[in-house]
Amino acid sequence: MSGRNTLIRSLHDVGLAAWFGGSLMGAVGLNGAAKDEGATDTAGARIASSGWSKWAPVNAAAIGAHLFGGGGLLAVNAHRVAKQKGVAASTTAKTAVTAAALAATAYARVLGKKIELSSSSDPQDAEKAAQHPVDVDKARRQLACVQWAVPALTGCLVVLNALHGEQQRPFEQLHGMWEHARSVTPLIP
């Protein structure tokens, strides 16, 4: 690497940290507190929905920062992706896991919004819920699963990020580029 990329690396890492940490805290702390403090399932759903709604803009900013930083890191490390053995594979894996985490996050938000509308006391929300009926019990079961998928997937991204850090060590770069050269030139022993 020819220079420092502190800003884009920070956006990438801090965004991922907030995405992972927020989803884990929400699944453990917020949902647990809502379950403990809600007198009924509907009251618990209202508490959880309120907390997740307040977190949504911060989560969106964190995801945006992570994606912007990730795109920047990909641009400045394109030569390594192309020339260093193993980097393209880990980058592809990281891209696939990021896509899955984004999908899980979006699906969790859709399910949460459905549950929020069905448990709201606001007449406008009740009208929207009536226009789009939903099996609330099924949505709650799905949401319970997908809310754990988000921290699991973003946790995998943390591990892949650590792998990328290891691949940037000078010896690893030299070794990886040598192995790449050997694989494209059969005459090199």
Q: Is residue 1 part of a domain?
A: no
Domain tally, the chain: 1
Q: Is residue 73 part of a domain?
A: yes
Q: Is residue 25 part of a domain?
A: yes
Which segment of 73-82, 98-107, 121-130, 132-141 scores lowest on mean pLDDT?
A: 121-130
Q: Is residue 189 part of a domain?
A: no
| Structural contact between residues 121 and 180, judged by C-beta atoms closer than 8 angstroms | no
Residue 1, pLDDT > 50, answer no
Q: Is residue 188 part of a domain?
A: no
| Structural contact between residues 63 and 102, judged by C-beta atoms closer than 8 angstroms | yes
Q: Is residue 186 part of a domain?
A: no
Helix (H) or strand (E) holding 60: helix 41-76
The residue among 104 and 86 whose pLDDT is bigger is: 104
Q: Is residue 121 part of a domain?
A: yes
Domain that holds residue 174: 6-180
Residue 128: CB atoms within 10 A of its CB come to 15
pTM over the 0.85 mark: no
Q: Is residue 187 part of a domain?
A: no
Residue 9: Cβ-neighbour burial (10 angstroms; 0-12, 13-18, 19+) = middle
| Structural contact between residues 186 and 66, judged by C-beta atoms closer than 8 angstroms | no
Q: pLDDT tier at 162 (50, 70, 90 boundaries)?
A: very high
Q: What angle do CA 39, 35, 24 make, to 5 degrees?
A: 160
